[in-house]
Chains A and B, each alone.
Chain A
C-alpha cells in the first residue's frame, strides 16, 4: 500500500514540475474550446438549424406584401424578424453585418405593381382568346422584391431560398391573374372551389428519410468534447517525455535490480495520467456548462446515462494514456517523443474530425478518419450528446478504442522487453 502511495506521489510530483505539460493539458483545451466554439457557432447554426433567419421589411401599402409574409411564415423554413421602421440602407447594413443570414425588402408599391402585372396578364389572355375587343395590352413591370444574404451562405443554399420565394410569388401571381380573369368575365370574385383548388391541389411531395440518418451536433456538442480529447491525447508530451527520461537516466535499469515489479511503475504512471485525463474532462466540460450560457453559446447538456459518460471518458483517457506510453517507449529522446507526439496528434485530430467535423468531409476522408483514435472517441461523445448515450451506439467506438489501447500497451511492453529495459 505504501509502495503504491509513494509511486503515485512520485508521478504526481514529476507532473507538477512539468509546467509546460500542465499548460498543454489544461490551458490549451480551455482556450481552444472557447475560441473555436465562438468562431464556429454561426457556421454550425447554418448547417444544423431547420430555420434560417430572415429580416423582413414590409413597406407595402397594399395586402400582397402581408400575404407573402404569411406564406413565408407558413413554409416553416424561415425564422422571420419583421421590421417596419427600417430604411433600405438599414436593411442592407443589417444583413451585411451578419445580424441575419437573409433579408427581404418589399417596396411600398409592391401590391399595386403586383396587381397591375396580374391585370395586364389577364387582359393579354382575354385579348389573345378573342374575348376582348382591344388586343393591345398594357405592359406591366414585374413587382420588385429585394433579397439579400450573408456571404457565409453557400450559393446553392441561397438559390434554394430564392426558389422558395419565387414559388410563393408564382402562387400569388396565378391567384391574382385568375381573379382578374374572372373579373374580366364578369364575376365579382374567384369562386370558392377554385380558391381551394389553387391552395391545395398541388402535386404533393412525400419526403422519405434514410433509416440511419446522421444527427448533426451543434457547436458546443462538437467543440467541447473534440478539444478535450485533443488535449487528452496531448498528454503524450508530458507522459511520453516522462517515460523517455526514465529510460535515458537508467531508472528502469535500477528498477530491474529491485524486488518490485515493473508493473508498479507502469501502473502508477497510468493511474496518475488517467486521473489527469478525467480532470481535463471535468474542467473543460464544467467551464462549458457554466460559462457558455453567458457567452450566448449553446449550453452543454449531459445525457442521463451516467455509466455511459463514465465509460466514454475512461476508455478515451485510457486510449490517450496508452498511446502516450507507446510513443514514450518507442522514442529514444525527449525531442523525438515531443516532436512526433505533437505532430501525430495534430494529424490524428485533423483526420479525426476535431477541427472540421467528419460529416462535412468527403467520403474518402471519412474512411481515412477511421484510423484516428480521436475520431472514435469523438464518435462516442456524439453518441452521448446526440443519441442520449444509448449503449447500442457506444459499443462500437468504445470497442475500437479498447482494441487500440491494447495494441499500444502490447507494443510498449514488447519494445521495453526487447530492449532489456524491463
Chain B
C-alpha cells in the first residue's frame, strides 16, 4: 500500500504546560487503510488527530500528505480531509439540512452538489425523514450520524474520526460502522479513535497504541495480539498501558 500520511518525530507541548502531549511520534498511515489509534485518557490520541487535521500545530516534527502518490502541501490538504470531532459540532437551532448546507458551503461545494450529497447521505444514514427538523429535537444517535455526514459532505480522501460512536445505541453504532466500511471500500482512508475496543477490533486493519505521548505498539491487530499473548484488544491495551487510572484534573 502507498503511504498517505507520513509522520516524523511529532512533538507537542501546550503553552504553560511542563508535560509533552506527544513525544517524537513517528508512523505512516497507508492509502485506503482503516487505522485505529488507541490508548488511555490523556494519552495523546486527540492531540495527534488534531495536528493531522491542522486544528493544532506541532511543537516539533513533520507531517507529509500524499494524494495519488503526489505530496500535497500541508496548507492545501484541508480540502482532502474530513474531520468528525468527538463533540457534536452542530447548530442545534438549525435543521439537519441547514447544518450540512452551511458546512458544505464552507467546503466550497455548490448548492446543487450540497443538495445531491445531502439527499444521498441522509438516505444512507436514515435521516431523510428528519432532514428538515431542528437538530435539537434529535436523539443522541441521530446527532452522531449527522455529525458524521457533515464530515464527509465533501467526499474527503481521508477521514479522521474522534470517538464517532460514543454514547449511541447499538443500531446507530452499527449504521455508522457500516457506513464507514462502505466509505472505505470506495477508497476513503480512515483514521479512528474509540474506547469501544470490540468494535475497533472488527473495524481496523492496523492500530497504534499510544501512551504518555509515545507510540508503544504499531501493527496489524492479529500479530500484535500474538506478540503480546493477548486474547483481545482490551487485554492487549491493559497489558501495554496498565490498570492505573489516567484521569486528569
Question: Which of A's residues lie within 8 Å of B, judged by CB?
Answer: 2-3, 5-7, 9-10, 13-14, 17-18, 249-251, 253-260, 264, 420
Which single member of A6, A250, A253, A256 contacts B102 (CB below 8 Å)? Answer: A6
- Chain A residues near B106: list those with CB within 8 A: 3, 6-7, 255, 258-260, 264
Interface size of B in residues (CB-CB distance below 8 Å): 32
- Once A258-B78, A259-B79 are accepted as A-B contacts, the answer to whether A10 and B91 lie under 8 Å apart by CB is yes
Q: Are B93 and A13 in contact (CB under 8 A)?
A: yes
1/0 per position for B60-100, CB-CB distance to A under 8 A? 00000000000000000011010101111111111000100
Q: How far is it, in angstroms, between the C-alpha of A264 and the C-alpha of B110 when the chains are bound?
A: 16
Interface of B with A (CB < 8 Å)?
A: 50, 53-56, 78-79, 81, 83, 85-94, 98, 101-103, 105-108, 110-111, 134, 150, 160
* Chain A min CB distance to B161 (Å): 12
Q: Are A259 and B108 touching (Cβ within 8 A)? A: yes
Q: B50, B89, B101 — which one has the most chain A CB atoms within 10 A of its CB?
A: B89
Known: A10-B91, A10-B94, A13-B93. A257 touches B53 (CB 8 A): yes
Q: Are A254 and B91 interface neighbours, CB within 8 A?
A: no
With A250-B88, A257-B160, A420-B55 already in contact, 8 other A-B pairs whose C-beta atoms are closer than 8 Å = A6-B105, A7-B102, A14-B94, A17-B93, A253-B89, A254-B83, A257-B53, A260-B107
Which B residues lie within 8 Å of A257 (CB)? Answer: 53-55, 78, 81, 83, 160
Q: A249-B88, A259-B79 are in contact. Are A2 and B110 (CB under 8 A)?
A: yes
The complex places the Cα of A250 from the Cα of B103 at a distance, in Å, of 13
Instruction: Give chain A nearest CB distance to B216 CB in angstroms.
Output: 27
Q: Which residue of A lies closest to B81 (CB)?
A: A257
What are 18 pairs between A and B in contact, CB < 8 Å? A2-B111, A3-B105, A6-B102, A9-B98, A10-B94, A13-B94, A13-B98, A14-B94, A18-B93, A249-B88, A249-B90, A249-B91, A250-B87, A251-B89, A253-B55, A254-B150, A256-B53, A259-B107
A258 to B106, CA, bound (A): 7
Bound-state CA distance A264–B105 (Å) is 11
CB-based contact A251/B91 at 8 Å:
yes
Report the Cα distance A14→B55, complex, angstroms: 25
* B91 surroundings in chain A (CB, below 8 A): 10, 14, 249, 251
Residues of A within 8 A of B134 (CB): 17
Question: A258 to B150, alpha carbons, bound, how many Å?
Answer: 11
B107 touches A253 (CB 8 A): no
**Known pairs A2-B111, A420-B55; A253 contacts B101 (CB<8 A):** no
Please name all residues of chain B whose beta carbon is closer than 8 Å to the beta carbon of A260 when the two chains form the complex. 106-108
Bound Cα distance A2, B111 (Å): 8
A1 to B92, CA, bound (A): 25
Assuming the contacts A250-B88, A257-B54, A420-B56, asked whether A7 and B105 have C-beta atoms less than 8 A apart, the reply is yes
Check A256/B55 contact, CB under 8 A, given A6-B105, A10-B98.
yes
Interface centre among A6, A254, A257, A420 (most CB of B within 10 A): A257
- B105: which A residues are within 8 A, CB to CB? 2-3, 5-7
Among A9, A250, A255, A420, the one with the most B-chain Cβ atoms within 10 Å of its Cβ is A250
